[in-house]
Amino acid sequence: MLIVMELGATREMVDKVCREIEKAGLKAHPMPGAIRTAIGVTGNKAQIDADHIEAQLGVKEIIHVTKPYKLVSREFYPEDTVIDVNGIKIGGEALVTMAGPCAVETRKQCMIIGEKVAAAGAQIFRGGAYKPRTSPYSFQGLEEEGLKILAEVREKFGMAIITEAIDTEALKLVSDYADIVQIGARNMQNFSLLKKAGRQPRPVMLKRGMSATLEEFLMAAEYIMSEGNHNVILCERGVRTFADHTRNTLDLSAVPYVKRTSHLPIIVDPSHGTGKAHKVIPLSRAAIASGADGLMIEVHHDPANAFSDGPQSLLPEKFDQLMKEIKAIGAVLGRTSP
Ligand code: PEP
Ligand code: MN
């Protein structure tokens, strides 16, 4: 339910409506807009008397939100959410690029790649310090040592840092070091992790689960937002299908769907979405053309010896070429690039 307040509704009127909602055992989310204030209502434990709310001073109308997700939906919040990460805007006119290796391997590796991707125009450095691997015998990540290396990359190249929290234990440390917390595909429905991510201060990038419908994806984002953290970035990274020419099937139709039904920014990850470096550039172009707010790209200076995801990692020169193309495609759509 969404309560739309009159143009001239005062702060006191908004507060009174919020109190009435909370009295009924529900949560009120006042959302001051450019023209008028709306109040979102969430919670399913109690029923609210809509007539009683409608009769409150300053209430213009009540809109019944048809979608199961509330805070995530455009019905609740019509304007695009723009997330500010150290001055980098995600979800506005400007395109954003997150780039770096799959895993933080060594300090030297991150410095080499960081320098190259920063020079090509990437604003955010990625790299896993905790790696969710299919095999328990594969490299699992450098953990806190990796987070320290990421912090050094931020210092040296003036980039923001995104890295994955694979569990609630890692979340605390990741939140201390990183600018954006990544929740991976395998954890998209780890509801206790989502709730905790909603209670820490950093923006969260939530990756789509490998077999998640878009409704499930948006409901997972709702978990984070319902705990108070409204800075959620969605990431389409491909889903599992019968296709065997590609690691996953990158579902670019998710982009216009999300843009229509939600106000949250959406980033596309063609690296995990395809699993093959030669497919990353064409699908990055398509992602920007489809309206994505930016890209997450794996880049490695020595893919053949990468600890993980070498076959899908772009060489820095290819990444540089991609950034030039993205700039041109974005410009056609009125998007700016660094
Ligand atoms: C990653 O981005 O490092 C990653 C593991 O991706 P995903 O969760 O999409 O598989
Ligand atoms: Mn990877």
* 239 Cα: distance to centroid of ligand 2 (angstroms): 15
Structure tokens at 73: 């939906």
Was domain 83-332 assigned CATH 3.20.20.70? yes
Atom in ligand 1 nearest the alpha carbon of residue 128: 3
Residue 124's H or E segment, with its range, is strand 124-126
User: How far is residue 100's CA from residue 95's CA, in Å, rounded to a whole number?
Assistant: 17
* 157 Cα: distance to centroid of ligand 1 (angstroms): 23
Three-state secondary-structure class, residue 139: coil
> Relative to the alpha carbon of 280, which ligand is closest?
2
Q: Which of 1, 309, 338 is nearest to 126 (CA)?
A: 309
Range list of H helices, 121-276:
144-157, 168-177, 191-197, 214-226, 254-261, 270-274
Q: At residue 49, what are phi and psi to the nearest 5 degrees?
A: -90, 100
**Residue located nearest, by CA, to atom 3 of ligand 1:** 102
**Residue located nearest, by CA, to atom 4 of ligand 1:** 184
* 2 Cα: distance to centroid of ligand 2 (angstroms): 40
Predicted pLDDT at 46: 63
User: How far is residue 196's CA from residue 173's CA, in Å, rounded to a whole number?
Assistant: 13
**Residue located nearest, by CA, to atom 8 of ligand 1:** 184
* 175 Cα: distance to centroid of ligand 2 (angstroms): 20
User: How far is residue 167's CA from residue 255's CA, in Å, rounded to a whole number?
Assistant: 27
Task: List ligand 1's pocket residues with C-beta within 6 A.
Answer: 102, 128, 132, 164, 184-186, 207, 237, 272
Fold of 2-63: Alpha-Beta Plaits (3.30.70)
- In total, the chain counts a number of residues equal to 338
- The DSSP code for 180 is E
Q: Which of 159, 197, 180 is nearest to 267 (CA)?
A: 180
How many CB atoms lie under 10 A from the CB of residue 43? Answer: 16
Contact residues for 53 (Cβ-Cβ < 8 A; gap 6+): 3, 17, 20, 21, 59, 62
Per-residue pLDDT of the chain in tens (338 residues, 90 and over written 9)? 899 999 999 999 999 999 999 999 999 999 887 788 999 998 865 678 889 999 999 999 998 887 888 999 998 888 999 999 999 999 999 999 999 999 999 999 999 999 999 999 999 999 999 999 999 999 999 999 999 999 999 999 999 999 999 999 999 999 999 999 999 999 999 999 999 999 999 999 999 999 999 999 999 999 999 999 999 999 999 999 999 999 999 999 999 999 999 999 999 999 999 999 999 999 999 999 999 999 999 999 999 999 999 999 999 999 999 999 999 999 999 999 98
Predicted pLDDT at 216: 98
Q: Which of 325, 232, 335, 331 is nearest to 283 (CA)?
A: 325
- Give me the half-sphere count of Cα atoms (radius 13 Å) on the Cβ side of residue 98: 29
Q: Which of 181, 173, 236 is nearest to 210 (CA)?
A: 236
Contact residues for 209 (Cβ-Cβ < 8 A; gap 6+): 185, 186, 188, 189, 216, 217, 220, 239
Residue 204: strand pairing partners? 181, 232
Three-state secondary-structure class, residue 324: helix
What is the distance of C-alpha 188 from the center of its chain?
Answer: 12
> Relative to the alpha carbon of 187, which ligand is closest?
1
Q: Which of 15, 24, 60, 61 is nearest to 42 (CA)?
A: 24
Predicted pLDDT at 112: 98
Residue of 105, 163, 182 to test ligand 1 pocket, by largest number of atoms within 8 Å of CB: 182
Three-state secondary-structure class, residue 6: coil
**Burial of 322 per CB tally in 10 Å (0-12, 13-18, 19+):** buried
pTM: predicted TM-score of the whole model, two decimal places: 0.93
Residue of 183, 210, 269 to test ligand 1 pocket, by largest number of atoms within 8 Å of CB: 269
Structure tokens at 25: 């055992």
Structure tokens at 337: 């690039």
Residue of 135, 186, 193, 207 to test ligand 1 pocket, by largest number of atoms within 8 Å of CB: 207
- The DSSP code for 80 is P
Atom in ligand 1 nearest the alpha carbon of residue 207: 9
> Relative to the alpha carbon of 188, which ligand is closest?
1
Domain extents for the chain? 2-63, 83-332
